[in-house]
Amino acid sequence: MTDSKNIHVALAGNPNSGKTSLFNVLVGSNQKVGNFTGVTVEKYEGFKNYREHSIRFTDLPGTYSLSAYSPEERIARNFILTEKPDLVIHVVDGTNLERNLYLTTQIMDLDIPFVIALNMYDEVEEKQIHMDINYLERLLGAHVVPTSATRKTGITDLLDHIIETHTGEIKFRRHKLQYSQNINDLISGLEDILSRARDLNTDLPYRWLSIKLLENDKEAYKLLKDHPVWISLNQFLTQHLEPFKHLTRNDPETQLTEERYAFIRGALQETVRYPGKRKRDLTDNLDAILINRFTGLPIFALIMYMIFTATFRLGEYPMIWIETFFSWISTVLSNFLPDTLFRSVLVDGIIAGVGGVLVFLPNILILFLGISLLEGTGYMARAAFVVDKIMQRVGLHGKSFIPMLTGFGCSVPAFMATRTLKNEADRITTLLIIPFMSCGAKLPVYTLLIGAFFTTQQAGKVLFGLYVFGILIALASAALFKKTLFRGESEPFVMELPPYRWPSLQSLLLQMWHKARLYIRKAGTVILAASILIWIAGNFPKDENVTQKMDALKTQIREQDLSPYETSRALEKIKAEEEALQFEQSYAAQLGKALEPAIKPLGFDWRIGVALVSGIAAKEVVVSTMGTIYSIGNNMYEESVSLRQRLRNDPAYSPAMGLALMVFVLLYVPCIAATVIFHREAGAFKWTLLYFFYTIGVAWIMAFIVYRFMNFLL
């Protein structure tokens, strides 16, 4: 800071927060009255000499907000932004924090140094309102000084804070208010355009101007509308406002207000305890149960359990229909198409692969519906709030939990959601543990293996257990990273508590369909390509010896005096045998066999090895690969046997192996698309390397433990 002995301080606060009283206590009779420039609103200024400094105070008009709706608001914010006082004393009525903190959120947007005078503290104590001031300071990123203008307490403390912020003896932490990703994208889009514009005749902060534009602020509009940059700004807004409204069912202005109140509700929930009964709304009443210290966590666990059970149970019926449909197509095509490579790639490659993945569409839809419901009702934020304390124990906070929960859907948006974490250590740690969340693509693998190796009664529990296991591994890893790579304390954040609301069925279905479309598109592109590649790897190279031998056998059969039916049966059998023999030395088998020593301790054979390698393309491909591999070598009379059945009947496999495989798939490195995004978000090659080897290492160790343990039990 400067070593100047003159300090300019402005007092800002709601009407009746006690600004003028405080101002009078601070400066005594050393005051004069003037007018704010250009308006007839009276301006009170006063001086105080303290600790060899001369402090000039300006008492700003009282405002509830810093929008440009009233002259008072305009004066207050223009004064702060253009006169640039060294420090703002934000006077807050301590008995009415809920309303007063709204202005605080706007002052935080200004990104200027401020100290909060928590005024009327005498009444706070009298009313026995308990405040964790220390924690409040950390959440708001500003020092909080309890004062009473009437009792004249806390005044020297406040003066000391003014001097010491000025001399730099106490550090001022600038916390920006963190908005949701949707709003943030709009803000940074506008900010970008502003920062690229030339001769913008303003020294107002671009981020703040962007926020104001989104709030339809008249002054911001007036300032920019005649500048060439307005064309780009307008273009950006036209392009992005509709999608935003569609997604959030809100305009940005309302959304910003709601998020500010969510911030306040969260901050108060963590720091203030009122004695006895208070006026409560529905949200308060629901929160009393849902984020309660004792009931919150069990209720959260129950809700998640219900979602996963529904995913499996309700999904089963349509799943059987789709399964039946695809095996019917396979049978029909095998019957009517001539026995060529084309039939093979179609039936054993494409239909087995893509069909095997599409079968799980119903499960995915139900899971996504559940997650959208949690987000839409406002419960997701409560879940984050509830786990905040647990997260803090491993060195993270509840905010990291939202990207983690998003990871239940897909890692790609989850990695991107970590941008709301401003602390680098927290962000990297969260990025590194997201792979352990069970994304939607892992669900098909679980569904297949649970269906093959467990009963319907066990299914829900196993599935739920896997999700919980993933979370536990994630938390343990976070603790490990925090203890080794990133030591040091992290900043606490406010856990926002938005109001509860009924999401509209339309928006729920829309979100669900949005995700379903991505899934179907993936089945038609990545998975289609992978299926064909895997089919090629499984069918080539051909061993000429085998071909010759089998051709000889076929000729023999044709020469025999058999009925047409018996002939075709015998030929099919030979062909299946040939396929099996050819597959044994195909590229895929060679790769799998090369891997086998490494995965043998986990109970996996080389066929699983092939599936796991191809699963790096996309986790669903584990299923489609198995679909392809296990249908090679089956004759056409067996095409209608489902993959589930084949696995169940295979003597090489057991429930222990099934569980170990699920654990491995849960934990090992996510798909290529997610990895690319991880690299982009983490921003350094070393993190991507760590991510790759850490996930695979943990997957191996855990699968090993599970396999051994299950074998010991069974």
Sites of contact with Mg ion (CB under 5 A): 20
13 binds ligand GDP (CB under 6 A): yes
Of these partners, ligand GDP, Mg ion, none, which one is at the site of residue 429 (CB under 5 to 8 Å by kind)? none
Angle between helices 456-484 and 655-667 (to 10 degrees): 40
Q: Are 538 and 590 in contact (CB under 8 A)?
A: no
DSSP state of 352: I
- Least gap, CB of 94 to ligand GDP (angstroms): 8
Of these partners, Mg ion, ligand GDP, none, which one is at the site of residue 119 (CB under 5 to 8 Å by kind)? ligand GDP
Pick between residue 121 and residue 630 the one whose CB is nearest to ligand GDP: 121
CA-CA distance, 507 to 247, in Å (whole number)? 8
Whose tokens are 């996309």? That residue is 618
45 binds ligand GDP (CB under 6 A): no
Of these partners, ligand GDP, Mg ion, none, which one is at the site of residue 149 (CB under 5 to 8 Å by kind)? ligand GDP
- Least gap, CB of 121 to Mg ion (angstroms): 18
Phi, psi for 376 (deg, rounded to 5): -65, -30
List helix spans (H) across 668-684. 672-682
CA-CA distance, 413 to 440, in Å (whole number)? 12
**Residue count, binding to ligand GDP (CB under 6 A):** 16
Phi, psi for 543 (deg, rounded to 5): -90, 115
Closest residue by beta carbon to Mg ion: 20
- Least gap, CB of 418 to ligand GDP (angstroms): 41
- Least gap, CB of 21 to Mg ion (angstroms): 8
Cis before 85? omega within 30: no
Pick between residue 41 and residue 297 the one whose CB is nearest to ligand GDP: 41
Of these partners, ligand GDP, Mg ion, none, which one is at the site of residue 16 (CB under 5 to 8 Å by kind)? ligand GDP
- Where do the DSSP E strands lie in 392-464? none
Neighbouring-strand partners of residue 92 = 118
Q: Of 552-591, which residues contact ligand GDP (CB under 6 A)?
A: none
Closest residue by beta carbon to ligand GDP: 18
- Least gap, CB of 14 to ligand GDP (angstroms): 7
Q: Are 415 and 431 in contact (CB under 8 A)?
A: yes
- Least gap, CB of 98 to Mg ion (angstroms): 21
Stretch that binds ligand GDP, among 15-23, 369-377, 408-416, 653-661 (CB under 6 A): 15-23
Pick between residue 20 and residue 257 the one whose CB is nearest to ligand GDP: 20
- Least gap, CB of 91 to ligand GDP (angstroms): 6
Stretch that binds ligand GDP, among 18-26, 96-104, 229-237, 469-477 (CB under 6 A): 18-26
Phi, psi for 130 (deg, rounded to 5): -95, 130
Q: Of 200-219, which residues contact ligand GDP (CB under 6 A)?
A: none
Phi, psi for 402 (deg, rounded to 5): -70, -45
Residues 6+ apart with CB under 8 A from 86: 7, 8, 9, 113, 166
DSSP state of 397: -
Q: Of 21-40, which residues contact ligand GDP (CB under 6 A)?
A: 21
Pick between residue 35 and residue 456 the one whose CB is nearest to ligand GDP: 35
Phi, psi for 57 (deg, rounded to 5): -105, 140
CA-CA distance, 91 to 11, in Å (whole number)? 7
- Least gap, CB of 26 to ligand GDP (angstroms): 12
CA-CA distance, 398 to 649, in Å (whole number)? 45
CA-CA distance, 416 to 216, in Å (whole number)? 28
CA-CA distance, 196 to 206, in Å (whole number)? 11
- Least gap, CB of 76 to Mg ion (angstroms): 12
CA-CA distance, 113 to 162, in Å (whole number)? 10
- Where do the DSSP E strands lie in 256-298? 272-273
120: helix, strand or coil:
coil
Of these partners, ligand GDP, Mg ion, none, which one is at the site of residue 265 (CB under 5 to 8 Å by kind)? none
- Least gap, CB of 89 to ligand GDP (angstroms): 12
Pick between residue 44 and residue 102 the one whose CB is nearest to Mg ion: 44
* The one among 9, 10, 12, 17 contacting ligand GDP by CB under 6 A: 17
Q: Of 86-145, which residues contact ligand GDP (CB under 6 A)?
A: 119-120, 122-123
Pick between residue 118 and residue 383 the one whose CB is nearest to ligand GDP: 118
- Least gap, CB of 219 to Mg ion (angstroms): 24
* The one among 62, 362, 403, 470 contacting ligand GDP by CB under 6 A: 62
Pick between residue 15 and residue 298 the one whose CB is nearest to ligand GDP: 15
* The one among 66, 131, 144, 149 contacting ligand GDP by CB under 6 A: 149
Helix (H) or strand (E) holding 89: strand 87-93
* The one among 7, 9, 12, 18 contacting ligand GDP by CB under 6 A: 18
Of these partners, ligand GDP, Mg ion, none, which one is at the site of residue 327 (CB under 5 to 8 Å by kind)? none
Pick between residue 130 and residue 173 the one whose CB is nearest to ligand GDP: 130
Pick between residue 97 and residue 667 the one whose CB is nearest to ligand GDP: 97
Q: Report, in this order, helix, strand and coil percent for the chain, each rounded to 5.
A: 70, 5, 25
CA-CA distance, 582 to 584, in Å (whole number)? 5
Q: Are 570 and 554 in contact (CB under 8 A)?
A: no
CA-CA distance, 404 to 385, in Å (whole number)? 13
Contact residues: ligand GDP, CB under 6 A: 13, 15-21, 62, 119-120, 122-123, 148-150
